[in-house]
Amino acid sequence: MQSIIRGLAYVVGDAIDTDQIIPAEHLVYSLKRPEERRMYGRFAMSGVPAVDQGLPFGNRPFTDPDRYESRYTLIVAGRNFGCGSSREHAPFALAEAGAQVVIAESYARIFYRNTIDGGFVIPFESNEKLNDQIRTGDDLELDTQMGQLTNHTIGQAWLLKPLGDVAAILKAGNVFEYARQAGLIPAR
Amino acid sequence: MGMTITEKILANHSGRTRVAPGESLWVDVDILMTHDVCGPPTVDIFKREFGEDTRVWDPDKLVILPDHYIFTQNHHANRNVQLLREFAAEQALPHYYDVGSPRYKGVCHVALAEEGFNRPGSILIGTDSHTCTSGAFGLFSTGVGNTDAALIMGTGKIWLRVPETMRFIFEGELPPYLMAKDLILAVIGDITCDGATYRAMEFDGKAVYALSMQERMTLTNMAIEAGGKNGVIAPDATTIDYVRARTDAAFESVFSDVDARYFSEHRYDVSTLEPVVAKPHRPDNRASVVEVAGTRLDRAYVGSCTGGKLEDFQAAADILKGQEVVIDTYIVPATTEISQSLHTSSIDGESLWSIFENAGCKMGQASCAACLGGPPDTFGRMQGSEVVISTTNRNFPGRMGSKQASVYLASPLTVAASALTGRITDPRGVLV
Ligand code: SF4
């Protein structure tokens, strides 16, 4: 886990479900083959209705048309981020687009689990509602060890909730490495 | 202090005599289910982590049911089914239900029940969020991603945190104009889309045990729409009869202790409830049908794991018999078994299939179809700004294929009544 993550904020609302994160019609692409997997970066967050894309402005797609990578590194969301289906394609798509962190007030549990077990993005929980204080494009810096988020654009900082016992899996890299460390599967 | 059914099952599968909410455990999985959307990437991770020549931990415990993108020309979707086919052959999997073969089933959660994989007291994990459906059979079931599924494929194990349990007690007699769908939409409206996050939802009470297995599955199916980890209903004679008719496999029923500790308790008298819908674009956006009656519709849709079971069609056919729909109305049986039953089940001597055809409905093939949008050529998929009333379980933006579409979720009775008028219609005015 990288200790300092700095980049631009992408802000969305409450209950961003997995169909908004990656619409179901795109789930046909392979997550392995390079020419197909980049489609996940291209269509990440494309299911969010246009007016809600990149708050508070709207009409700011996460990934620009015909690009495969997003310019935004830190996603800031409200409650219940990742609700809906169990598709691991969702955190995969965010990571494929280049996102490293999500900071939400709360998560749906399968999405949360998938981000950690697959080692895609780091899911931090905020102590307060931040998606009305941070604006899309703000310059954010996250200290993942301290759990401190700084918004350089407005000169404000917040402490996020500790990661808790899932930190062990994040530290191991993914659930397989964690299981190897626990002796559940043989070391490579 | 006693344990809930969920806690007991997790204890039984982790070599423990007791467990408490909040503990993380490695548990043994009895059945792992996957499908055409999440199966191929799961297999990729399985091979990446365990090696190209690895064998699955127990072929008899892996069930693969292609169901999502079946009747489409989409090349990638068809390729994914082919990948499953090859994997099933390579691993000599006994429980692969191939597309285009007589074994083909359709929607996984209903197929798991029909094929006897839902066994009381067991742990069933699937790469699909609605895997919680199986909990109707008194087992622990939940949805996971590809990574967790790949770990199970190699080891038979998963780490799980023991959830707290919320208890929903339904009393009273269910009126003929209500279905399990109305009950669960009422619950989700009350506790909202994240009201049960990380928790088990246990359904209990006389009104629950009066329901058939199909209707119970509608309740547990939508536990995930409240964020629930699992939905569960203790087994009774109805459960045992259903399971015994489908499998000889051994199982052991488990029940909550009388002194089990619950996070919360929620009581409903079902005789006082009303038909409800979930308005666009969230399953917790509840309104009574009375409040939204008259809303203009473009389409009606009866299908999916939650609303495409035989009894859902019997309810819809009761209303559509001898009538004609005035908007595009799609009928999509969840499984091939249900599809056949539409021909063999009848009302007053007329088969359900012919009732629907004569009413002007469009008849689909067993699969997930437009429930989750899918490739543009998917049967019944929204293409524009349609307003649809549907028996499915999700109405988030874009869920049925178009971000501009608006989806109202409702019971098969309400959907059928609305198909006759082209406006949201209370089934109480139509049922005789
Ligand atoms: S019918 Fe719909 S909800 Fe059920 S498994 Fe298929 S896509 Fe998912």
Q: Do B397 and A49 touch (CB under 8 A)?
A: yes
Model confidence band, residue B145 (pLDDT cutoffs 50, 70, 90): very high
Question: CA distances (Å), A112 to each of A22, A108, A115, A175, A186, in order?
Answer: 15, 6, 5, 13, 26
How far is A81 from A104, CA to CA, in rounded Å? 7
Check pLDDT > 90 for residue A123.
yes
Model confidence band, residue A164 (pLDDT cutoffs 50, 70, 90): confident
What are the pLDDT digits (tens) for B354-391?
Answer: 999 999 999 999 999 999 999 999 999 999 999 999 99
Three-class secondary structure of residue B250 per DSSP: coil
Model confidence band, residue B1 (pLDDT cutoffs 50, 70, 90): confident
pLDDT of residue A184: 85
Q: What percent of chain B has pLDDT over 90?
A: 99
Q: Which of A30, A109, A111, A184 to mutate to test the interface with B (most CBs of B within 10 A)?
A: A109
Pocket of ligand 1 (CB under 6 A): B 68, 107-109, 128, 130, 304-305, 368, 371-372, 392-393
**Token digits of residue B339:** 């599809």
**Token digits of residue B96:** 């692969």
Checking DSSP bridges between strand B31-34 and strand B123-126, what pairing results, if any? parallel
Contact A158, A148 (CB under 8 A): yes
Q: Do B129 and A48 touch (CB under 8 A)?
A: no
B40 neighbourhood in chain A, CB within 8 Å: 30
Average pLDDT over residues B337-351: 98
How far is B384 from A41, CA to CA, in rounded Å? 25
pLDDT of residue B253: 98
**Token digits of residue B254:** 């488990």
Q: What percent of chain A has pLDDT over 70?
A: 100
Angle between helices A109-117 and B146-155 (to 10 degrees): 70
What dihedral do alpha carbons B172, B177, B179, B181 form, nearest 10°? -120
What are the pLDDT digits (tens) for B219-233?
Answer: 999 999 999 999 999
B77 neighbourhood in chain A, CB within 8 Å: 28
Contact B388, B301 (CB under 8 A): yes
Checking DSSP bridges between strand B62-64 and strand B200-204, what pairing results, if any? unpaired
Contacts of B191 (CB under 8 A, 6+ apart): B166, B226, B266, B284
How far is B101 from B251, CA to CA, in rounded Å? 30
CA B78, B79, B85, B87 torsion-angle sign:
negative
Q: How large is the ipTM?
A: 0.94
Peptide bond into B109 cis (omega under 30): no
Q: Do A20 and B397 touch (CB under 8 A)?
A: yes
Q: Do B144 and A113 touch (CB under 8 A)?
A: yes
**Token digits of residue A104:** 């939400």
pLDDT of residue A165: 84
Q: Do B157 and A87 touch (CB under 8 A)?
A: no
Average pLDDT, chain A: 96
Quote the Cα angle for B76-B80-B83, to 5°. Answer: 135
Three-state secondary structure of B253-320: CCCCCCCECCCEEEEEEHHHCCCEEECCCCCCCEEEHHHHCCCECCEEEEEHHHHCCHHHHHHHHHHH
- CA distance to partner chain A, nearest, from residue B40 (Å): 8
As a 3-state breakdown, chain B gives helix, strand, coil percent values, each rounded to 5, of 35, 20, 45
**Token digits of residue B43:** 């297999």
- CA distance to partner chain A, nearest, from residue B237 (Å): 32
Amino acid in the structure at residue A48: V
What are the pLDDT digits (tens) for B32-60?
Answer: 999 999 999 999 999 999 999 999 999 99
Put simply, whether the predicted model's pTM sits higher than 0.90 gets the answer: yes
Average pLDDT over residues B235-257: 98
Check pLDDT > 90 for residue A14.
yes
Run of H or E including B187: helix B180-191
Q: How far apart are the first and last CA of chain A?
A: 21
Model confidence band, residue B432 (pLDDT cutoffs 50, 70, 90): low
Q: Which of B47, B131, B396 to mutate to test the interface with A (most CBs of A within 10 A)?
A: B396
Contact B171, B267 (CB under 8 A): yes
pLDDT of residue B174: 98
What are the pLDDT digits (tens) for A134-152?
Answer: 999 999 999 999 999 999 9
Contacts of B228 (CB under 8 A, 6+ apart): B132, B166, B196, B197, B199, B200, B201
How far is A121 from A174, CA to CA, in rounded Å? 11
Angle between helices B336-344 and B310-320 (to 10 degrees): 40
Nearest CA in chain B to A182: B26
Check pLDDT > 70 for residue B24.
yes
Q: Which of B157, B166, B194 to mutate to test the interface with A (most CBs of A within 10 A)?
A: B194
> B356 C-alpha to center of ligand 1: Å?
22
Contact A23, A143 (CB under 8 A): no
User: Which atom of ligand 1 is least distant from the CA of B394?
Assistant: 3
pLDDT of residue B431: 82
How far is B77 from A29, CA to CA, in rounded Å? 8
- CA distance to partner chain B, nearest, from residue A147 (Å): 23
Q: Do B396 and A15 touch (CB under 8 A)?
A: yes
